[in-house]
Amino acid sequence: MAAHVWACESAYWLYRHRRPFSLIKTPTQIALVSPLSRPKGKASAEAEYRQVCQNFGLELVQYNGEVNNVYRPSKLLTGS
């Protein structure tokens, strides 16, 4: 289950901190360039995070923000 928790938390963090890219086209190439500054990530939202957890086979039992959340395997993961 630890792998599911790690994947869920990582995916949600990356989603919240995603940055826009600039597209640069030349006659022979296309490049994506990330911004020079790091914008602040959007705030964590419990309802949104619950949905992400479901995608990773987890049920969020207790939401404590960024850390110390409590999970259990969802019925999809256990087959019950």
What does the pLDDT look like over 11-56, one tens digit per residue? 999 889 887 778 889 999 999 887 777 778 889 999 999 999 999 9
How far lies 27's CA from each of 23, 32, 33, 62, in Å? Answer: 13, 15, 17, 53
What pLDDT score does 78 carry? 62
Helix ranges (DSSP H) in the chain = 2-16, 46-55, 75-78
Q: Stretch 56-69: mean pLDDT, rounded?
A: 93
pTM over 0.75: no
- List the beta bridge partners of residue 58: 73
Give the CA angle between residues 19, 10, 47 to the nearest 5°. 85
pLDDT of residue 14: 86
Segments forming the whole domain that contains residue 6? 2-78
Give the chain's domain count: 1
Closest by CA to 48, choosing from 11, 18, 21, 7, is 11
